[in-house]
Amino acid sequence: MVQFDKQIKISRELARKLVPLAVSIGFVITLIFPGAYCCIEFNRLKKEAGLYSIQLADSIRHLAAVSPGLWKYQATKYSEIMENFAPNKGILSITVVDEQSNPINQLRLTNNSNNPLRKFGINGLPSPIIFNNKTIGAVQIRLSANSFLFISLTVFTACLVIGLILSVMIYTLPTGVVRRLEQRVQERTKELETQVNAKEEALTELAAVQGSLVEVSRAAGMAEVATGVLHNVGNVLNSVNVSCTLIMDQLRESRVGNIARVAGMIAESPKGLVKFLTEDPQGRRIPAYLTALATALQKEHHLMFTESEALHNRIEHIKEIVTMQQTYGRVSGVFETIPPDQLMEDALKLNADELTRNEVTVQRQYQAVPPITVDKHKVLQILLNLINNAKHACADGVNREKDITLRIFNSGHGRLAIQVSDNGMGIVPENLTRIFHHGFTTRKSGHGFGLHSGALAARELGGSLIAESDGPGLGATFTLELPCAPGGTA
């Protein structure tokens, strides 16, 4: 609205400045042009009357040459000369005077006597009558101004009309153009406002969708962590079950009960312990039997102790996995300072059994780097997905040796780089950026969400996630770059 008021003000200012210009042009066309024409035409008629006077004076000079002393009194001759000279020249009157300016003869044309404009005429300059190098009189002719007045009036009227038309055009055309421009600007402004409002609504919706996507990403990350935890706990529980079965079988087959039978035999003997062990045939075999039984029980004890220790270790492993899940299952957004290699090792532990099952060899190339302050949940989510993808790439690749290389190093400017490289199936060049798009995947069992959510999480952390590959069958390298402290930019 303020912009529209400003445009109206500009339009009014332009109109105000155009008024003097329009009036000036109208004045020039209406008055100056007709005035110039009148002056030129008046001078032309005056010169024409002067030329007629010269011609008539020459005729009268010939009359004076014939009768030098009587030429003034030959009125008939004057009248004949003037009447023969006047027709078709637009002459109103001819006046002849002597050397003392006294009128000798004057001719007024009678055919113009009824003309209401007969009094309007143009006098030419008097032409002297010279005889014997002496001025003996003069002739003055007055020409009719009828055509002059008519044409002047016509020119004035035409110029007046043209001047008014041009003045109106000079005033209205620019202001009309400005008004149309203002209207167009107003329409365009409304269109832009509509587009801006639509864009703002779209941005609002995009922000809401992105927020939902981030929450889904976090939930997916936590679900992936939970899946890894459950898988690893299940594998450990299988080992625990085996150890428990072995211990129970050993207890069922234990020879500890034989000691009770030997003690019963000794207690039931009526001869006493010494006579039973020396005189009774069964009693004499008891010392050798006890020796053999002691050896067997020692082996049994060692086996049970070993299985019990393994069972204890496996239970501790389960406890460690659960503790790790509880650590990373907290609400994200909490920044903690942690060594980068610990994050990588935690991600490896959650993928350890899968890597072993697929016969994938892991190589570590960790440089000495300081701890970083990050959201551990988001980083673990990214690393879990990268290691899992590398495992699948190696499994689907053509190389018999399946290798994953993990690197940690400083990338400069207060930033840290974590790389996961594999020698698997590789990536075609056109997919190096598409793999980060939501829903894009090259695996039949993939959902196309892991790398997209990982890229979003890296961006939220102020970092970046990029992919590199020399082509199909040549493996791939994913680099997660993060600031060492919160607040860094990608």
Q: pLDDT-based confidence at 421, cuts 50/70/90?
A: very high
Round to whole Å and give the CA distance between 167 and 173: 10
What pLDDT score was predicted for residue 490?
Answer: 46
* Strand 335-338 versus strand 372-375 pairing type: antiparallel
What pLDDT score was predicted for residue 326?
Answer: 63
Average pLDDT of the residues in 10-16: 63
Helices (H), 28-93: 33-66, 75-85
Round to whole Å and give the CA distance between 37 and 156: 9
Average pLDDT of the residues in 197-202: 90
Q: pLDDT-based confidence at 71, cuts 50/70/90?
A: low
Among the residue ranges 14-23, 87-96, 98-107, 389-398, the one predicted with the least confidence is 14-23
| DSSP type of residue 435 | G
Among the residue ranges 202-211, 226-235, 448-457, the one predicted with the least confidence is 226-235
Residue 478 above 90 pLDDT? yes
Residue 48 above 60 pLDDT? yes
Q: Which helix (H) or strand (E) holds 4?
A: helix 2-27
Specify which residues 483 forms β-bridges with: 415
* Strand 91-98 versus strand 127-131 pairing type: unpaired
What pLDDT score was predicted for residue 2?
Answer: 52
Higher pLDDT, 230 or 83: 83
Paired tokens of 15: 């109109």
With a pLDDT cut of 70, the percent of the chain lying above it is: 79
Instruction: Determine the distance from the C-alpha atom of residue 193 to the mean position of all C-alpha atoms in its chain, rounded to a whole number.
Output: 16
Round to whole Å and give the CA distance between 188 and 182: 10
What pLDDT score was predicted for residue 112?
Answer: 45
Q: pLDDT-based confidence at 340, cuts 50/70/90?
A: very high
SS3 480: strand
Average pLDDT, the chain: 78
Q: pLDDT-based confidence at 113, cuts 50/70/90?
A: very low
What pLDDT score was predicted for residue 6?
Answer: 59
Residue 344 above 80 pLDDT? yes
Higher pLDDT, 341 or 449: 341
Residue 224 above 90 pLDDT? no
CA torsion angle 293 299 304 306 (round to 10): 170
Amino acid at 401: E
Amino acid at 471: G
Average pLDDT of the residues in 12-20: 65
Residue pair 430/439 in contact (Cβ under 8 Å)? The answer is: no
Residue pair 410/251 in contact (Cβ under 8 Å)? The answer is: no
Round to whole Å and give the CA distance between 427 and 90: 108
Residue pair 386/478 in contact (Cβ under 8 Å)? The answer is: yes
Among the residue ranges 25-34, 44-53, 246-255, 364-373, the one predicted with the least confidence is 25-34
What pLDDT score was predicted for residue 417?
Answer: 93
What pLDDT score was predicted for residue 58?
Answer: 84
Average pLDDT of the residues in 425-435: 86
With a pLDDT cut of 90, the percent of the chain lying above it is: 8
What pLDDT score was predicted for residue 356?
Answer: 82
Higher pLDDT, 46 or 331: 46
What pLDDT score was predicted for residue 332?
Answer: 53
Residue 118 above 60 pLDDT? no
Residue 345 above 70 pLDDT? yes
